[in-house]
Structure 1
């Protein structure tokens, strides 16, 4: 097994960090690796904010669902879906006027552009994760940065057509610390040949049998099995509702309206 594959297969989410800063050289490699990620049309429709200030990390640890480990990471990277720069480019080069001359409307970015920019940002983030891991820098994805849109917009000075898609915590592994890797679903329930395979009831039962073992009878939802517990913990949770609200606010901007 080569070193790259070994790095990918051993990686887990790190939430405990050595008490030392990430070196300038290592951080530069991580960021350069991000910027070499595949990108739709070579547009690089994303931006990355590097967070080092203690007070900002503390605010983000609260706004991202009160997760204290976030503020203990030496560096946070926030990956943004970003069409703002392209639209400034269009504006400065009289694109709106050009479209009017053609008898057509000049429109803002659409929902499809939002998805493309989100893909760009996430691919860049994963490049950062793998590069970091190869340097002994652990990471954890924080999807909660999508919540509290108005607050994060102000905190991070985000203009129109910019949305925080994900955040990474970065820090060196503590000496002798190892992450127990979590099991993944079986390959035959995730990888399909040629077309999607609809799973049967027996398939679903087998697929989730290890997750079912996590169920605890005494739970705050009074759920009778792990499926019921998980649905209430994730789908019906307050953070999920807030994330949905924030995404909808972003999509109010990214809706292809005439400008």
Structure 2
């Protein structure tokens, strides 16, 4: 196992950081690694905001479901699904440009996520931990105003970076699903409910008696949670704002 693969296996979310800055050189390496990511047609349908303002970090910590560690992170990068620069250039140099549509948003979102993952892997290689913040898609209108975003640039991925505490280093990474449960050959293999239960038991290390309560608790935290309502509302608004 080479170092890159080893780091992919060992990487886990870090939410508690040592009170140490990330150097200018480290930040530049992380961001430049993101810029090397695969991208549709080399269009780079994303942009990155380096959030340095403590006031903005504090706002994000509250808006992203009250997670104080966001405000405490020494490096906060917001990745935007951004088609704006190309749309502007198309309008300048080509006639008959129509508005962007759903596929353009999806393509930009793919570029955005790939770039963010490059940054995460680069940080991991330098001993810098990270955590994805999916809640950034909530409160779209407020964040659009906060970051002065044009029509075709939307907040899609927020990642915080910092040096993990020893406790975070020692924390056991949650087990992932097994390859045989996640990979189909040629066509999708629809599992029976019994097969799916077994899949979840293996991943969670729960018994027959424990798995039901485990899933119910998970559903209450994620599926029935109030933040999901806002996330869905905001996601609909993102799409509406993009295509109208």
Give the conservation status (yes or no) of the 8 Å contact 1:214–1:226: no
Q: CA deviation at 1:177?
A: 4.7
TM-score, normalisation: structure 1:
0.87
Q: Which residue of 1 aligns with 2:120?
A: 129
Q: Which residue of 2 aligns with 1:85?
A: 85
Q: Which residue of 2 aligns with 1:181?
A: 173
Which string of whole-angstrom CA distances, capped at 9 and with x for unpartnered residues, describes residues 95-139 of structure 1?
A: 3xx22xxxxxx3211111111100000000000000000011100
Which string of whole-angstrom CA distances, capped at 9 and with x for unpartnered residues, describes residues 216-248 of structure 1?
A: 99xxxxxx7333333332222211111111111
Q: Which residue of 1 aligns with 2:204?
A: 211
Q: CA deviation at 1:61?
A: 0.4
Aligned length: 241
Higher helix share: 2
Q: Which residue of 2 aligns with 1:191?
A: 183
Q: Which residue of 1 aligns with 2:226?
A: 238
Q: Which residue of 2 aligns with 1:250?
A: 238
Q: Compared with structure 1, are the counterparts of its residues 197 and 250 closer, same or farther at alpha carbon in structure 2 (3 Å cutoff)?
A: same
The separation in 2 between residues aligned to 1:235 and 1:14, in whole angstroms, is 23
The separation in 2 between residues aligned to 1:215 and 1:89, in whole angstroms, is 58
Q: Rg larger in 1 or in 2?
A: 1
The separation in 2 between residues aligned to 1:167 and 1:254, in whole angstroms, is 20
The separation in 1 between residues aligned to 2:209 and 2:72, in whole angstroms, is 31
Q: Which residue of 2 aligns with 1:152?
A: 143
Q: 1:77 is paired with a residue of what secondary structure?
A: strand
Give the conservation status (yes or no) of the 8 Å contact 1:113–1:254: no
Q: Which residue of 2 aligns with 1:8?
A: 8
Q: Which moved more, 1:179-188 or 1:59-68?
A: 179-188
Q: CA deviation at 1:167?
A: 0.4
Q: 2:149 is paired with a residue of what secondary structure?
A: coil
Q: Which residue of 1 aligns with 2:24?
A: 24
Q: Which residue of 2 aligns with 1:140?
A: 131
Structure 1, unpaired ranges of 5+: 100-105, 218-223
Q: Compared with structure 1, are the counterparts of its residues 136 and 90 closer, same or farther at alpha carbon in structure 2 (3 Å cutoff)?
A: same
The separation in 1 between residues aligned to 2:152 and 2:188, in whole angstroms, is 34
Over aligned residue pairs, what C-alpha RMSD do you find? 2.0
TM-score, normalisation: structure 2:
0.92
Q: Which residue of 2 aligns with 1:220?
A: none
Q: Which moved more, 1:194-203 or 1:109-118?
A: 194-203
Q: Which residue of 2 aligns with 1:170?
A: 161
Q: Which residue of 2 aligns with 1:102?
A: none
The separation in 1 between residues aligned to 2:30 and 2:17, in whole angstroms, is 17
